[in-house]
């Protein structure tokens, strides 16, 4: 790789182990000792589409605040886990930035990749859970078809129980 | 990247510029100066499914030999072009190996990736031509879903007319 190349490596993270494995794989296989890379972690918070209960009554402001707090806590927890992987697993210290947006992960990720002019988008292949995926379609499929930059789709080996990305 | 890591980078090439751009991108962004990488070029020759003419008469052996020669010449020409890119564009000298198999590219690529235990499969997103893709479905889509190793799908920027892969 050319020296001092500055690259933006956008890594989509979610609450699944596979996205953390993809992050780990990138640190070991894509981040270069001779490049000046920035890992940009992106997390899409599910949109808050419902503020009424199924029977039509509004949830109380307290309840909505509590739901929002849970969503924010989950986002923080995932990002912290991802940052820890960056600190501990990279072969060199790598700059880390974070993007958290609310919305459909397909839109959030594709828009961010184009907006920041990512050099490569990294994601797990089965993010966002089996049930959500059935409704949403595969997020990685969608992004592979729609973002302009190269897309690296990483599967977590079945035998691997930890997010190490090492071989 | 850890020193002296040995990786097999499987790159699917075809007669489209996009696959050569994907190869070029890999040389600049994935092959590391500190790793001991081998680029394995894979080309799937379209299977010879028809040996009769539409009206039922057998093509002559001469004609079939001529068709086979064309297919082999095309394969050689594509592989030579890809090898040239490896020689000229890599930031370091990289080992190159070649796999040529007849068959549906989806099967050929997926089987090879698993058989050689590729560390990563690289491919263009629109390989194998618009018309063939309409019949076959997207080869890259299929491979992304079916191979075990990470898959890097590289799109050729619309503004880029050459297979350089540089930014």
The pLDDT value given to residue B125: 83
Does ipTM surpass 0.85 in this model? no
- CATH number of A6-48+59-154: 3.40.50.620, 3.40.50.1820, 3.30.300.130, 3.40.50.150? 3.40.50.620
50-79 of A, contacting B, C-beta below 8 A: none
Q: Parse chain B into domains and list their residue ranges.
A: 6-115+148-154
CATH topology of domain B6-115+148-154: Rossmann fold (3.40.50)
Q: Which run of H or E residues covers position A105?
A: helix A105-115
- B interface mutation test: which of A26, A150, A152, A164 has the most B CBs within 10 A? A150
- CA distances from residue A70 to A18, A77, A80, A124, A147 in whole angstroms, order as listed: 22, 10, 15, 24, 30
**Per-residue pLDDT tens digits for A5-47:** 789 999 999 988 889 999 999 999 999 877 789 999 999 988 7
**Per-residue pLDDT tens digits for A39-74:** 999 999 887 655 555 565 566 777 778 878 888 888
Q: Where would I find the H helices in chain B? A: 17-29, 61-89, 105-115, 130-136, 139-146
The pLDDT value given to residue A58: 64
Find the distance separating the first CA and the last CA of chain B, reported in whole Å. Answer: 22
Q: Kindly give the parts of chain B with pLDDT less than 50.
A: 1-3, 133, 135-136, 161, 164, 166-167
The pLDDT value given to residue A54: 56
The pLDDT value given to residue B144: 87
Contact call for residues A24 and A89 (beta carbons, < 8 A): yes
Distance CA A53, CA B166 (A): 53
Candidate from B2, B148, B167 with C-beta closest to A28: B2
CB distance B153–A154 less than 8 Å? no
**Per-residue pLDDT tens digits for A97-123:** 999 999 999 999 999 999 999 999 999
């Amino acid at each position: 790789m050319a020296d001092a190349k500055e690259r933006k490596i956008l890594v989509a993270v979610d609450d699944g182990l596979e996205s953390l494995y993809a992050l780990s794989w990138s640190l070991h296989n894509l981040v270069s000792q001779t490049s000046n890379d920035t890992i940009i972690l992106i997390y899409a918070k599910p949109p808050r589409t419902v503020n009424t209960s199924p029977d039509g009554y509004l949830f109380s402001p307290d309840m909505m605040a509590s739901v929002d707090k849970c969503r924010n806590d989950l986002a923080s927890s995932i990002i912290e886990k991802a940052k820890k992987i960056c600190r501990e697993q990279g072969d060199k210290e790598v700059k880390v930035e974070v993007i958290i947006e609310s919305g459909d992960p397909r839109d959030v990720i594709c828009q961010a990749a184009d907006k920041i002019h990512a050099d490569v988008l990294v994601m797990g292949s089965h993010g966002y859970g089996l049930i959500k995926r059935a409704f949403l379609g595969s997020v990685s499929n969608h992004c592979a078809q729609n973002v302009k930059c190269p897309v690296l789709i990483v599967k977590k080996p079945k035998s691997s129980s930890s997010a190490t990305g090492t071989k």
